[in-house]
Amino acid sequence: MTFTKGVTPSTEKYDGSSLRVLIVHTRWNCEIVEALVRGAKETMTSEYNVKSENISIQTVAGSYELPFAAQSLIGASRMSPQSFDAVICIGVLIKGSTMHFEYIAEAVSQGIMRVSLDSGVPIVFGVLTCLNDEQALERAGLGDNESKHNHGIDWGRCAVEMGVKNTRWMSGTI
């Protein structure tokens, strides 16, 4: 039995040409993060017609800073003519020999969810939480493993789907 890695694409076709999407990513594990950002951006532009100029990319030092950055940037976008329809937070946490990993992973997970619920903007959780470097490389589509898959592709798909759906829902269309 074989199965497809990642999320199964929706059977519904989404037009992302009117969406504004924010990608906020970390600078830790840069090679891995850059591959994930590239996967998300290329998927949104090539599969869903999101305009490159409507994808804003911002960086922060580490994953712990992602929720604050997302919240601040969502707020700032509401002061402009067009606010963000979806956000993707991208980072990589790799377990070490201390409890640091668990504390950061929990705080980031809860923080991103809180910002999404409080703001009403869908935020895709694009933070890899891996036990080792090999897992992180595989999940970014890098490395030698044949089963590697760039999860940024899934996050790009999810951002478009949730951005389009949330726009519909907010206009009263279900």
Q: Which position has the token pair 């800073």?
A: 65
DSSP string, 34-85: HHHHHHHHHHHHHHH---GGGEEEEEESSGGGHHHHHHHHHHHHTTSSS--S
Alpha-carbon distance of 62 to 111, in angstroms, equals: 14
Alpha-carbon distance of 37 to 156, in angstroms, equals: 9
For residue 128, give the nearest of 107, 109, 147, 156 by alpha carbon. 109
Residues designated as active site: 100
Tokens of residue 150, six digits: 């760039």
